Structure 1
């Protein structure tokens, strides 16, 4: 990427709302996982890095979303906590027994949540 493109990307990221930034990071994580799934034989060596990035995204997202004094309704907090638990469990499962088809759920969850954050359910 050229210097001008990098500068534009940094400026555009700074102008994002928190919801748009969360959606963008979820899409980035999904794209990394999708690349590995689509090119499993050639890209499998990058699986742990992509899973680690996704885990970090979900750690931050779940921590912020489920804060006891956070603005979200309790029902939504509980749902996000359950979804986060699934993501962490699937991530661990993929690290122990890697399989391309197991990535589908993580990719779909990230994309669907990103769409919801953008107001496109």
Structure 2
């Protein structure tokens, strides 16, 4: 598939995908970026910094949304998301300060497992 065709498909998929699907796709994108950083084996590379920043921004959005009073999810679900988010954000901050690629696995696993749940594959 050509690059322009892939971009057109991605734009169309964004308009037709459910919010859960978009969240799952974005979590997988974050997990893949983190895995690419691990595979690159340079904890101080720009790729590593970008992967951690992307994951941190994503989870900041999730935590912020979970804490909104208008969020329709049950309180217990929102608290669980917020608790996981606090862990993820603290891990990202620690890894941004002292990047250790062997510590990325938990972040990758969390993103992939939640994406699977959102996609109904869990």
TM-score when scaled to structure 1?
0.91
Two-structure CA RMSD over aligned residues (Å) = 1.6
Matches within 5 A, 1:37-56: 37-41=38-42, 44-56=45-57
Q: Displacement, 1:41?
A: 3.0
Q: Displacement, 1:98?
A: 0.7
For 2:109, the equivalent position in structure 1 comes to 108
Task: Give yes or no for contact 1:66–1:80 (8 Å, CA) kept in 2.
Answer: no
- Matches of 1:92 and 1:26, distance apart in 2: 18
For 2:77, the equivalent position in structure 1 comes to 76
Task: Give yes or no for contact 2:62–2:82 (8 Å, CA) kept in 1.
Answer: no
Q: Displacement, 1:43?
A: 7.8
Q: Displacement, 1:42?
A: 8.5
For 1:58, the equivalent position in structure 2 comes to 59
SS in 2 for 1:70: coil
Runs of 4 or more consecutive aligned structure 1 residues displaced over 2 Å after TM superposition: 41-45
- Matches of 1:91 and 1:75, distance apart in 2: 24
Structure 1 residues not aligned, in runs of 5+: none
Matches within 5 A, 1:75-94: 75-94=76-95
For 2:120, the equivalent position in structure 1 comes to 119
Task: Give yes or no for contact 1:36–1:43 (8 Å, CA) kept in 2.
Answer: no
**When the two structures are aligned, how many residues end up with a matched partner?**
121
TM-score when scaled to structure 2?
0.91
- Matches of 1:87 and 1:69, distance apart in 2: 23
